[in-house]
Structure 1
Amino acid sequence: MNNWPKFLPHPASWAKGFALSSGFWLIVSVLLPGYYYYYYRFSAMYWRSISSSDFEGAIAFAWLCQIPLFAFYHWGLAKVAEWVESRSHKQPPTAAVSPWLHWREGIIAFATLPAAIVMGIPAIAFLMLPLRDSSSSIVALILGTAIASAYLYHFGFAKRLKILVKFLWIFYADLLKILELLLVPTITGTPFLKLTIATAPIIPQQLLPLTTFLLVVWVLLSGIVGYAALQYWSAHLVNWAATWWPTDSPGYSRIQARKAWKHNKTAATQSFVRHTTSWHLAANDTTYFIYFYLIAIVCGAIAFVLFGEPSKWSETQEEMLGSAVALVWVAQWHFGGWRREVEIASGEPSGKKRSRDRNLPPADPVAVELNQLAAELGDVRMRAVRKPASTTQKPKSQQAKWYVFRSGKAEGPYTKRQLRDVQQITDRTKVRRGEAEWQRAGEIPELAAFLTQK
């Protein structure tokens, strides 16, 4: 379809748009008697019970139904495509479609529908002008929403929405980290606070400053223990999830990478008390917990200068102060605390300070030993202990970095020659390089010379 008009949706987009619109509005028309089926006077008792139901509930139910409906549509189309492929090539399909791909279509439809209804309002209003009864208005609703849905599918609305959600998720993840840092000391320090309140009447007034200081110390120490316990058990949770997480599901490569971190590997063999990585992460959390309170004190002092005494602050001024504290802390954690946490958990130093010899080839132990013997005998001629990079590195075609999708799982890594000689890949075999997306081997020009002709 290279000659297809640029601003006209493809037939597939039109089919998805009409399926989404008709499925939603027909379900709504069944649940709400004021649209289409009400004029056929089915069951008076049925319509009486429906009319007393919640309008928002019916809309939400019809909206949620699009997820299983489109998952079922995609599953059926995938089965038809597999049947056609097996009949045309007279062999079973190379790989089955992942269940996640079916549900992904349902989630895309779920996210597209609200935008399609809003964008389709002009078309719906235009189509409703010649109509006089609600029995025909359902057609206008379906057509107007279908047109908007087709264009949203055509211009990749779901991909753009995904980019926006990823951007917002970074901010909300940092806000969740604030809640974690605040709630853990609150929960672990509550017993010490209650003990202090209970013993306050019997403590001399001269010892109250010392008691308050001890309370702060115990709350801080208990918070460190709480942070360490949370980090330790989160490593076990990630390791457990990595054992059953589907290969083609989103987040698979990320959760497998987390499992390979030093924090997760050592958690499986060390106890909580001896797990030093969890304690280092707890120290990092405690540091930024203290930073958070220092930022709050500084912002509070600025607000005192601008607004006066705290008792005179309005609700809007308090919200402005809280937002300022949260934004400053989020920026500090995102650009400093999170990087430090990843560095501790992964066990790898940051990339800012690297040795100059980091990218050099390893030294030859035989050449090093011969140089030592020559130096003892007084010979000043030394052998090269590092071979040139051209002799130590394998050609790109011999690097094992390719994976093959077989029997519902990834196999590899393989070199390009192994793909041809061992795996005997064809142009329809699904492969990937490293952690990239799965592709047909025939779609990758780099593998054209390594395909097995069948």
Structure 2
Amino acid sequence: MDAIGDYFDSIVQLPELLTWKGWHLNDRPNGTIFISREIIAIMNNKPKFLPDPASCARGFALSISFWLIVSVLLPNAYYYSYGFSRRYWYSIRNSDFEAVMTFAWLSQIWLFAFYHWGVTKLAEWVEIRRYNRQPEALSAWQHGREGIIAFLTLPAAILMGIPAIAIFMLPVRSSGGALIAVILGTAIASAYLYYFRFGTLLKIILKPLGVFAVNLLKTAEILLVPVITGTPFLLLTLATAEMVPKQLLPLTTFLLVVCVFLSGIVGYAALQYWSAHLVNWAATRWPAESPGYSLLQERKAWKHNKTATGQSFVRHGISWHLAANDATNLIYINAISLILAYISFLLFGDSSKWTQTQAEILGLVALLAWMAPWYFWGWRSEVEIATGKPEGKKKRSPNSNSPPPNPVEQELNQLKAASGINRMKPVRRAARPTPETAEWYVFRSGEAKGPYTKLQLWEIQEITARTKVRQGQAEWVRAGEIPELVPYLTQK
């Protein structure tokens, strides 16, 4: 241990120059990363087209851990299934191969979470030994996030590494050499994917799919709630159908539709009301560093969620307004479905003669048409109702260069007018405020950005209560802990 301590005593701190973004060790501003002078020189002199050492380390770790698991489990799978028969050792059954590959792929989530935890603990040990202070602890999600990134990166790395694998396979004459060629090819591709932040790119690509899934679930909710709440009325109608004269059938049908529609509104209101309680409960127990925390806090701050805790279901007007919004979307969806049904009948004729392709196209069009009202109108209306309309504020013209009137002299003139004095003192303009100095820095994406003024923190960076900022060379703190920045916080 003394030798290790002497080594770490000889290495230098590299503040805000090296960003080891791959392991997220510098996600905290007071975090410290140590690196020897030799490694610094190598990194500064390396060609720009080569990935950094952190990306290479992650790429090789991903490739080695995956292919070693495959090489160990695949022969054992054949052994336990077929014994020592030689003909099975040189044959690949799809079921065994897929099972081993899937297990090795899923194992990367836990392995890379463990790797990230181990490297973090090593960096914390170095920081404690060097500066005798305890660094900020990382949550379990930040370790698991590294495993998820590795899990998503591996298939793309294998696909993109095929050319490199083929080149390394040329001189191979044994199974061990083939394994090394596969590991090297996949490791190179993985290193470049990490270097170009493939995880962030994948998140941007998959984000529209998440929006599509959310809108699809909301549309399914709008359609299913009336079905569930209206089922008792439908059963009652069927049970009493023989007792009602046929002349009253139109009236019975009308009453059934009205009952289903009204019960659907009650179901929407109940769903909105109790979902507010569920969101408030989850917001108080959700870990601060886990994904979705800021979204839950934002929803908890909505007027709908704040008022739900102090009002009963019947008296909670916002839930009923949201239910009316959902009922309006239900009317739109049914109207669109009737129009699409009429158009499809004109285009394709008898439904019994439709081909499978025509039915699939029509189903996709109907799905998108059902989701369109909610996406373009329903969601915006729901947010406006749930958050509450902001109070309007009078803004001065941006082209006005004159300072605002002095409020004290305005009040004196009003008192003189009330007492009958006609001579008014001209209202002087208040002195123009001194321009604010840009001295605030924001910690984003592993680096300090700035300087900004307080207004620029709000307009450009859109800081929230959890954003880490500092004034000048002060310590990094969260913006919500600085009283003078509270008016400039953005609710996201």
Counterpart residue number, 1:208: 249
Counterpart residue number, 1:239: 280
Contact 1:188/1:219 (CA < 8 Å) preserved in 2?
A: yes
The answer to which of 178-187 and 377-386 deviates more is: 377-386
Whole-angstrom CA distance in 2 between matches of 1:294 and 1:280: 21
Question: How far off its partner does 1:28 sit?
Answer: 1.8
Counterpart residue number, 2:73: 31
Contact 2:230/2:260 (CA < 8 Å) preserved in 1?
A: yes
Counterpart residue number, 2:383: 342
Q: Deviations over 1:138-194 (max 9, x none)?
A: 222222211111111111111100111112211221111111111111111111111
Whole-angstrom CA distance in 1 between matches of 2:195 and 2:404: 52
Unaligned stretches of 5+ in structure 2? 1-42, 444-452, 455-461, 477-492
The SS at the match of 1:297 is helix
Q: TM-score, normalised by structure 1?
A: 0.78
Whole-angstrom CA distance in 2 between matches of 1:101 and 1:7: 28
Distance 1:256 1:142, change over 3 A: same
Question: Does 2:114 correspond to 1:72?
Answer: yes
Distance 1:52 1:287, change over 3 A: closer
Distance 1:437 1:120, change over 3 A: farther
Counterpart residue number, 2:60: 18
Q: Deviations over 1:354-390 (max 9, x none)?
A: 5645999999998887666544434467799999695
Counterpart residue number, 1:228: 269
Counterpart residue number, 1:423: none
Counterpart residue number, 1:164: 205
Residue number among 274, 282, 290 corresponding to 2:323 in the alignment = 282
The SS at the match of 1:201 is coil
1:401-440 equivalences in 2 (<5 Å): 433-435=463-465, 437-438=467-468
The SS at the match of 2:472 is helix
Question: How far off its partner does 1:252 sit?
Answer: 1.9
The SS at the match of 1:292 is helix
Whole-angstrom CA distance in 2 between matches of 1:80 and 1:272: 53
Counterpart residue number, 1:407: none
Contact 2:229/2:260 (CA < 8 Å) preserved in 1?
A: yes
Whole-angstrom CA distance in 2 between matches of 1:272 and 1:96: 42
Counterpart residue number, 1:448: 472
Whole-angstrom CA distance in 1 between matches of 2:383 and 2:324: 14
Q: TM-score, normalised by structure 2?
A: 0.72
Contact 1:300/1:321 (CA < 8 Å) preserved in 2?
A: no
Counterpart residue number, 1:321: 362
Distance 1:167 1:362, change over 3 A: farther
Residues matched between the structures, number: 407
Question: How far off its partner does 1:450 sit?
Answer: 4.2
Whole-angstrom CA distance in 2 between matches of 1:389 and 1:251: 46
Question: How far off its partner does 1:126 sit?
Answer: 3.2
Distance 1:108 1:451, change over 3 A: closer
Distance 1:125 1:386, change over 3 A: farther
The SS at the match of 1:249 is coil
Counterpart residue number, 1:58: 100
The SS at the match of 2:242 is helix
Whole-angstrom CA distance in 1 between matches of 2:405 and 2:311: 34
Question: How far off its partner does 1:137 sit?
Answer: 2.7
1:118-133 equivalences in 2 (<5 Å): 118-133=159-174
Letter of the 1:212 partner, please give it: T
Whole-angstrom CA distance in 2 between matches of 1:387 and 1:179: 60
Letter of the 2:323 partner, please give it: A
Counterpart residue number, 1:86: 128
Question: Does 2:180 correspond to 1:176?
Answer: no
Letter of the 2:331 partner, please give it: I
Whole-angstrom CA distance in 2 between matches of 1:359 and 1:272: 45
The answer to which of 315-324 and 281-290 deviates more is: 315-324
Give percent identity, aligned residues only: 60
Distance 1:227 1:310, change over 3 A: same
Contact 1:402/1:434 (CA < 8 Å) preserved in 2?
A: no
Contact 1:32/1:58 (CA < 8 Å) preserved in 2?
A: yes
Distance 1:83 1:107, change over 3 A: same
Question: Does 2:372 correspond to 1:295?
Answer: no
Contact 1:189/1:219 (CA < 8 Å) preserved in 2?
A: yes
For the aligned residue pairs, the C-alpha RMSD in angstroms reads 3.8
Whole-angstrom CA distance in 2 between matches of 1:384 and 1:18: 77
Counterpart residue number, 2:419: 377
Question: Does 2:207 correspond to 1:193?
Answer: no
Q: Deviations over 1:270-327 (max 9, x none)?
A: 1111111111111111111111111112222222222223343333223222322322
Question: How far off its partner does 1:6 sit?
Answer: 2.4
Contact 2:70/2:101 (CA < 8 Å) preserved in 1?
A: yes
Question: How far off its partner does 1:249 sit?
Answer: 2.0
Counterpart residue number, 1:150: 191
Distance 1:163 1:207, change over 3 A: same
Whole-angstrom CA distance in 2 between matches of 1:66 and 1:111: 10
Letter of the 2:333 partner, please give it: F
Unaligned stretches of 5+ in structure 1? 404-414, 417-431, 442-446
Whole-angstrom CA distance in 1 between matches of 2:268 and 2:310: 20
The SS at the match of 2:258 is helix
Counterpart residue number, 2:29: none
Whole-angstrom CA distance in 2 between matches of 1:74 and 1:165: 24
Whole-angstrom CA distance in 2 between matches of 1:387 and 1:182: 61
The answer to which of 294-303 and 364-373 deviates more is: 364-373
Counterpart residue number, 1:308: 349
Question: How far off its partner does 1:266 sit?
Answer: 0.7
Contact 1:362/1:386 (CA < 8 Å) preserved in 2?
A: no
Contact 2:219/2:374 (CA < 8 Å) preserved in 1?
A: no
